Amino acid sequence: MGKNPVIRVEVEPEPKEYIEEFIRFRRITKNITPNTEREYRRYLSSFIEELGGEEEIGKGNERKTVLDWLEKPMEGGIHGVKKVLSNGTFNRKRAYIRAFFRWLREEYEGMLPTDPLKGIPKRKEEHRKITFGIDAVKAVEEELYRIYIETPKMINLRNFLEFVFICAVGTRGTETGSFGREHIDVKSSMVFLPAAITKTRQSRHVPLPFIDPGTWMNKKTKKGAKSRFQKLFEAYYRAHEEAYPDPSTPFFCSQTGQPLRSTALWQAIKPAMRACGLDVPPHDLRHFALTQIAFHGGAAAVQAIAGHTSPVMTARYINPSAEMVCGMGLEAIKRANDLRI
């Protein structure tokens, strides 16, 4: 009787998971936020798809692929598909893929003999111009208020309050949707943003606008002592306590009590904004708020409120309209001449 024949089975190699490995590495070394993780996955997945799959990494086509990919607008997201790639998006794509390539070269020696991005510089970004003013913001505020009055649901009140808060303080959408009730200090008119929810991983305080601490939760106040925002903020605060007893629950949360992603807020308020003719990216609201703060006496505090690590970054957010510049200039000229005369 002969020997049993040896049957060899071709085993498919396990697919590489470079993106997930890279994100784990960044999570450990850079302590990146969940939002940054999502952005890495989105941009790197787009590049890998253009390359033909993760199994194509290291075969020498990275340079040609990245040159084509960098010039293409990103699909999906809150802005849909843009026909023209902005310099800001180009630089963001370049930054994400640059970090990925650097990690590949360090982690897998010899995989990328040369840097595929060599000789591809950043593009000069134009300052974002804010073409709308306080009237447009107030129009959206009134529309969101009208929606809440007609349908007094907690989610509609949340949308109104969060929109007003962002337009006044200029917090990022992820930060606004993540701080808990426990982080609100009415007595000091401040909101504490823990390091875990900020983009720079540095904790900071931001103002709590339109709240008079002396009248907080006090029914016996003079007529008109509370702003409309405070009255509604107090009502929402009470409802939030009842619905979510845990004080760490995000204040502007989803209906399930989870942090509210900026895209979810945008989808909620987009119809009201467009109805008022304010069809702009939500990040413009941050630019608007920080510009307003800077041009109305808060220039020294803007960097700290914004959470920027550099005044150079803050300067990119101060983009006053011509009307604002001339209006403030005329006020200064008038005061100067009154003093001189």
Identify the band that residue 12 occupies on the pLDDT scale cut at 50, 70 and 90.
Answer: very low
pLDDT of residue 316: 82
pLDDT recorded at residue 5: 58
User: 3-state DSSP call for residue 129?
Assistant: coil
Shared domain check, 224 and 80: no
Residue 277 lies in domain? 134-331
pLDDT at 81 over 50: no
Regarding whether 320 and 274 lie in a shared domain, the answer is: yes
Q: What percent of the chain has pLDDT over 70?
A: 91
| pLDDT interval class at 46 (50, 70, 90) | very high
Question: Do 99 and 148 sit in the same domain of this protein?
Answer: no
Would you say residue 10 lies in a domain? no
DSSP 174-235: HHHTT-BGGGEETTTTEEEE-GGGSTTS--EEEE-TT--GGGTT-S---TT-S-HHHHHHHH
pLDDT per position as a tens digit, 171-193: 998 899 999 999 999 999 999 99
Whether residue 317 sits in one domain with residue 276: yes
Percent pLDDT > 90 in the chain is: 56
We report the CATH number of the domain holding residue 138 as 1.10.443.10
Mean pLDDT value of segment 223-237: 92
Whether residue 283 is contained in a domain is answered as yes
322 Cβ neighbours under 8 A, 6+ residues apart: none
The residues facing 259 across adjacent strands are 253
Angle at 54 (CA atoms; ends 68, 22), nearest 5 degrees: 95
- This prediction's pTM: 0.76
Q: Verify that 141 and 52 share a domain, yes or no.
A: no
4 vs 263 pLDDT, higher one:
263
Reported confidence tier of residue 341, pLDDT bands at 50, 70, 90: low
The average pLDDT across 152-163 equals 96
Q: Among 85-89, 172-176, 199-203, 224-228, name the one with the lowest average pLDDT.
A: 85-89
Q: Are 261 and 128 in contact (CB under 8 A)?
A: no
Average pLDDT of the segment spanning 330-341: 74
Same domain, 189 and 317: yes
Confidence class for position 322, pLDDT limits 50, 70, 90: confident
Indicate whether 101 and 145 sit together in one domain: no
Is residue 200 over pLDDT 90? Answer: no
Domains of the chain: total: 2
pLDDT for 4: 57
Pairwise CA distance, residues 260 & 219, whole Å: 31
Angle at 83 between CA 264 and CA 289, to 5 degrees: 45
Q: How confident is the model at residue 51 (pLDDT cuts 50, 70, 90)?
A: very high
Question: What are 96-137's pLDDT values in tens digits?
Answer: 999 999 999 999 988 898 999 999 998 887 767 778 889 999
Residue 265 has pLDDT above 90, yes or no: no
Q: Do residues 58 and 201 share a domain?
A: no
Mean pLDDT for 253-263 is: 89
